[in-house]
Chain A
Amino acid sequence: MTPAPEGEDEASEALPAAPRPPPPPPLTSAEEEVVLRAFADGTVAWDDTEGLWSLEVPAEAWLGACLLVQDRLLHPLASLFGEDRSSSSGSIRLHALFLGGRTSSGVHVRADLLAIGPVTRSLWERIPWVVPFERETAEMFGIEFLELPDRRPLLLHELHPRPPMTRGPASAPTGERAPYPFRPVEGGSVYEIPVGPVHAGIIEPGHFRFQVLGERILNLELRLGYTHKGTERLFEGRAPGPATLLAESVSGDMSVAGAVAFSHAIERALDIPISPGAEASRGLLLELERVAFLLGDVAGIALDTGYAAGAAQANVLRERAYEALGNLTGSRLARAVVSPGGLRRPLRTEALPGIGATVARTSEALTVLHERLLDNSAVEDRLLGTGVISRAMAEALNLVGPVARASGVDRDLRRDRPYGAYRDHPVRTTLGEKGDVAARLQVKVEEVREGCRLAGVFLEGLGAEPTVAPREPVPRLREAAHGLGWVESPRGEFLVWVALDAQGTLSRVHVRDPSFLNWPAIERAVQGNIVPDFPLCNKSLNLSYSGYDR
């Protein structure tokens, strides 16, 4: 037996164990204000278009402000992004969104950096999951993050003459490849398996670099960015209505979630009222999408254990859910249905009775299917104890969605920051314990069931009110506006931040797909597992390449 090489210990120590004292009760809004105002360097205001405290600080107070929010207010960092304001205020603005804890509050920290040679301190020592955010912001805006240990590009594979998200004429990449050294793992008998970016199955492209000892995975490192399309840049200069189509293609299998999150951001920014009928319709579409999506996950997990008959049953149910969406909207993925102000076109009322029946049948069939999967001892043996993400790990990586809930982290935006129809119809969340593939399957099955229930509830809430968006949803603006939209998508918390100029066109859009937070989890989940169990870990996490790359 060869001794385990050092790389493994390094890898497991690189992540500081999350300290877990009993969490103090969340601060009240008034207490939060006191803490923020005591931070002398900034201007504090409650921003209703984002549902967050706004904290504007000078560049040198960036680190202090972010750590104050994380340590005192206990809001996890949800996103970090840049905005080139060199045309208006001559600066590169750095944004950090802190939200997604158990409270409905949160903080938006902003700091202006010099447009020429922007530089700031990295947050990574205290907020370990910030690394991909800072790497992306560094390559897209040319910001230097001091002390950031990983300076490799994140999404760009080729060198660019200037950072692509900074103002100026569009510039093509130089065609020269950026160097990208992988973490080395050394030792006798260590074997390296490069997989991808082109895979044998019909999936999106991504590169996986395994270092294994026999069949045991010592280390896994990902490289993504193969589907980077510059989507955030494509939003700029567009009117909100047409730009909704871009938002729903960020992760194409969650188009309703993307469109609703974007529409919410626009509606909050411009103060557009939404009818209860439109909210119920959106709720129905969101839940049908979740049901179809998660049934696909159930089928995928069954198929990756080699249990094709069980997978076929789950796929039949999934297909019915997509058919329901197709009958209701004319598009199986419910594309081009949601738009700011309501819906682009009304739901087909003649399809509604069929939806109710489908939802009820799915819920019933699901129980049988889940039992059949768990009755199969080989399936059970493959799932139990495979790809474990402990609760401490889930918290240390700030994971979201069903993956976090399967590890026992209780967070769900539908309940924590209720929006639309969820304000009146609270969701029941299911938590797992062990954080293994079996727990993720369990949580996903329960979320399909809950989705069926909620879809039934929203179906009843559909009134005779007009649900179609007004032709001209964008009122004339007199000044720039911004807003934040959040949706609990099938993969977890989906955030869209928008800024509009005085003409009502988009000047900056940032999309934080849940997979951006969840992708690093796979590197941890597979450690110590055997290579043939990797596809199962991967499928149970079901991460979006496109959502990460954008």
Chain B
Amino acid sequence: MTSSLEAIALLAVEYLLVLGLAPILLGIIRRVKARSQRREGPSLLQPYRDLAKLWRKESVYSDTSSWVTRAAPWVSFAALLAAIPLVPWFVLPTPFSGAGDLIVLVGLLALSRFVIALAALDAGSTFGGMGSSREMWMGSLSEPIFLLVIFAFGAPAGSTQAGTIAAHGVAAGWGYVSAPLLLAVVAYVGLLLVETGRLPVDNPSTHLELTMVHEAMVLEYSGRDLALIEWGQGVKLAVLTGLLIALAVPWGISSSLGIAVIALALALLVAKLAGASALIGGLESRIAKWRLFRVADLTTFAAVLALGAIAFHYLIAAGA
């Protein structure tokens, strides 16, 4: 077990890592998409420059908005920050592993979504209401199914603690790979696209205000508030991708505190995150945006796979 001082140090490294890497993950996705369109694309560091620029600008508020608009970006960002320690990033057992399990993580993501949707309604602008309505509809589909997917991942380890599941995976080695795991991974990827607002669910690069989901909700935001929201999008992407990595390919997460082992685990993590972002970018280049109501097909598909994974696991367990 780690001492509390070590735990704080490890936690600090985690925060630095996730907050620092979040923008470049968006940069990687954009670069991959640009290449698929025969464009050079902006520098990988462009999201950092954008955030720095927005951070220095003042926030402008609508006359018709209340404190909800001002508070929402901070609450949403704080909820995402609170989710970071729930994911095993590079060391096991995770520091502050008692802070909560994945059900808490789903709740924190829901909170972040809820306050932004509330803020979008606050100013009373048309697009905000439209975006909120779409976002909450999608949330109502994806959140319960997300829980199901977590149960599918957690069944072999008998836990909903991400750290316990990852430790189970690391210990089991290649034996961790099973048909239920593959089903759960596919289901998770579908939900990841819904939760992070990527194609085919939402198109983050569109200028068509009538088709927007997440972007429509934050149209009213500017300056530092917008920077927080955009950064939060990156953090959310990092958290969900990091969780997938920890649950699906946990190998490489260090179980001890040696400097060399930790460094290797960190390098592996960065490589895995970059690879996952590139995969998302590649996927986005190949698909078009679906008709809005087909999102329900995607979540249904995820639900069926997750149920299949759970059933499969217990059948195998019963047979063995």
Interface residues of A (CB under 8 A from B): 191-195, 199-201, 214-215, 302, 304-312, 316, 376, 378-379, 381-382, 530-535
State in angstroms the CA–CA spacing of A270 and B200 once bound together.
58
State in angstroms the CA–CA spacing of A192 and B125 once bound together.
11
Q: Is the CB of A306 within 8 A of B210?
A: no
Tell me how far the C-beta of A479 lies from the nearest C-beta in chain B, rounded to whole angstroms: 54
Tell me how far the C-beta of A172 lies from the nearest C-beta in chain B, rounded to whole angstroms: 33
- Residue in B129, B210, B289 whose beta carbon sits within 8 Å of that of A195 in the complex: B210
Contact partners of B133 in chain A: CB under 8 A: 214
Q: Is the CB of A532 within 8 A of B292?
A: yes
Contact count band on B: 20 to 34
Contact partners of A382 in chain B: CB under 8 A: 288-291
State in angstroms the CA–CA spacing of A188 and B285 once bound together.
41
Q: Is B38 on the interface with A (CB-CB < 8 A)?
A: yes
By beta carbon, the residue of chain A nearest B208 is A535
Per-position binary interface string of chain B over residues 283-320, scored 1 when its CB falls under 8 Å from any chain A CB and 0 otherwise: 00111111111100000000000000000000000000
Known A-B contacts: A201-B208, A378-B287. Give 10 more (CB < 8 A). A191-B129, A199-B209, A306-B200, A306-B206, A306-B287, A306-B289, A307-B287, A308-B285, A311-B37, A316-B38
By beta carbon, the residue of chain B nearest A305 is B288
By beta carbon, the residue of chain B nearest A308 is B37
Contact partners of A308 in chain B: CB under 8 A: 33, 36-37, 205, 285
Tell me how far the C-beta of B2 lies from the nearest C-beta in chain A, rounded to whole angstroms: 46
Q: Is the CB of B209 within 8 A of A195?
A: yes
Q: Is the CB of A381 within 8 A of B294?
A: yes
Contact partners of A376 in chain B: CB under 8 A: 286-288
Tell me how far the C-beta of A257 lies from the nearest C-beta in chain B, rounded to whole angstroms: 28
CB contacts under 8 Å to A, within B177-220, are 199-200, 203, 205-211
Contact partners of B200 in chain A: CB under 8 A: 306, 378
State in angstroms the CA–CA spacing of A163 and B104 once bound together.
68
9 closest A-B pairs (Cβ-Cβ)? Answer: A306-B289, A312-B37, A307-B288, A378-B288, A305-B288, A201-B207, A532-B211, A535-B208, A306-B203
By beta carbon, the residue of chain A nearest B39 is A312
Q: Is B130 on the interface with A (CB-CB < 8 A)?
A: yes
Q: Is B140 on the interface with A (CB-CB < 8 A)?
A: no
Q: Is the CB of A306 within 8 A of B38?
A: no
Q: Is the CB of B210 within 8 A of A532?
A: yes
Task: Known contacts A309-B36, A312-B37; decide if A530 and B208 are in contact (CB<8 Å).
Answer: no
Contact partners of B33 in chain A: CB under 8 A: 308
Q: Is the CB of A306 within 8 A of B199?
A: yes
- Residue in B36, B130, B287, B289 whose beta carbon sits within 8 Å of that of A193 in the complex: B130
State in angstroms the CA–CA spacing of A379 and B290 once bound together.
8
Output the residue of B127, B134, B208, B210 with the most chain A CB within 10 A. Answer: B210
Contact partners of B290 in chain A: CB under 8 A: 378, 381-382
Task: Known contacts A215-B292, A309-B285; decide if A200 and B209 are in contact (CB<8 Å).
Answer: yes
State in angstroms the CA–CA spacing of A480 and B211 once bound together.
54
Q: Is the CB of B38 within 8 A of A531?
A: no
Q: Is the CB of B293 within 8 A of A530?
A: yes
Contact partners of B43 in chain A: CB under 8 A: none
Contact partners of B206 in chain A: CB under 8 A: 306
Output the residue of A305, A381, A382 with the most chain B CB within 10 A. Answer: A305
Task: Known contacts A193-B126, A193-B130, A532-B211; decide if A305 and B289 are in contact (CB<8 Å).
Answer: yes
Contact partners of B36 in chain A: CB under 8 A: 308-309, 312
State in angstroms the CA–CA spacing of A309 and B37 once bound together.
5
Contact partners of B211 in chain A: CB under 8 A: 304, 531-532, 535
By beta carbon, the residue of chain A nearest B219 is A200
Q: Is the CB of B208 within 8 A of A304?
A: yes
By beta carbon, the residue of chain A nearest B200 is A378
Q: Is the CB of B292 within 8 A of A309?
A: no
Interchain residue pairs with CB less than 8 A apart (8) = A304-B208, A306-B289, A309-B37, A376-B286, A381-B290, A382-B288, A532-B211, A533-B291
Contact partners of B207 in chain A: CB under 8 A: 200-201
Tell me how far the C-beta of A368 lies from the nearest C-beta in chain B, rounded to whole angstroms: 15
Contact partners of B129 in chain A: CB under 8 A: 191
CB contacts under 8 Å to A, within B260-292, are 285-292
State in angstroms the CA–CA spacing of A308 and B129 once bound together.
27
Tell me how far the C-beta of B57 lies from the nearest C-beta in chain A, rounded to whole angstroms: 19
Contact partners of B292 in chain A: CB under 8 A: 215, 530, 532
State in angstroms the CA–CA spacing of A311 and B292 once bound together.
20
By beta carbon, the residue of chain B nearest A214 is B133
State in angstroms the CA–CA spacing of A279 and B292 once bound together.
49
State in angstroms the CA–CA spacing of A305 and B289 once bound together.
5
Tell me how far the C-beta of B228 lies from the nearest C-beta in chain A, rounded to whole angstroms: 22
State in angstroms the CA–CA spacing of A212 and B203 once bound together.
22
Q: Is the CB of A530 within 8 A of B291?
A: yes
State in angstroms the CA–CA spacing of A534 and B207 once bound together.
13
Output the residue of B129, B205, B291 with the most chain A CB within 10 A. Answer: B291
State in angstroms the CA–CA spacing of A309 and B209 once bound together.
21
State in angstroms the CA–CA spacing of A71 and B195 once bound together.
59
State in angstroms the CA–CA spacing of A427 and B199 once bound together.
41
State in angstroms the CA–CA spacing of A201 and B215 once bound together.
14
State in angstroms the CA–CA spacing of A434 and B68 once bound together.
48
Contact partners of A311 in chain B: CB under 8 A: 37
By beta carbon, the residue of chain A nearest B213 is A532
State in angstroms the CA–CA spacing of A12 and B199 once bound together.
35
Per-position binary interface string of chain B over residues 116-130, scored 1 when its CB falls under 8 Å from any chain A CB and 0 otherwise: 000000000011011
State in angstroms the CA–CA spacing of A533 and B208 once bound together.
10
CB contacts under 8 Å to A, within B121-163, are 126-127, 129-130, 133-134
Contact partners of B127 in chain A: CB under 8 A: 193
Tell me how far the C-beta of A61 lies from the nearest C-beta in chain B, rounded to whole angstroms: 48
Contact partners of A199 in chain B: CB under 8 A: 209
State in angstroms the CA–CA spacing of A199 and B209 once bound together.
8
Contact partners of B210 in chain A: CB under 8 A: 193, 195, 531-532, 534-535
Q: Is the CB of B208 within 8 A of A200?
A: yes
State in angstroms the CA–CA spacing of A543 and B293 once bound together.
28
Task: Known contacts A194-B126, A200-B209, A308-B205; decide if A381 and B39 are in contact (CB<8 Å).
Answer: no
By beta carbon, the residue of chain A nearest B201 is A306
State in angstroms the CA–CA spacing of A261 and B127 once bound together.
42
State in angstroms the CA–CA spacing of A311 and B285 once bound together.
11
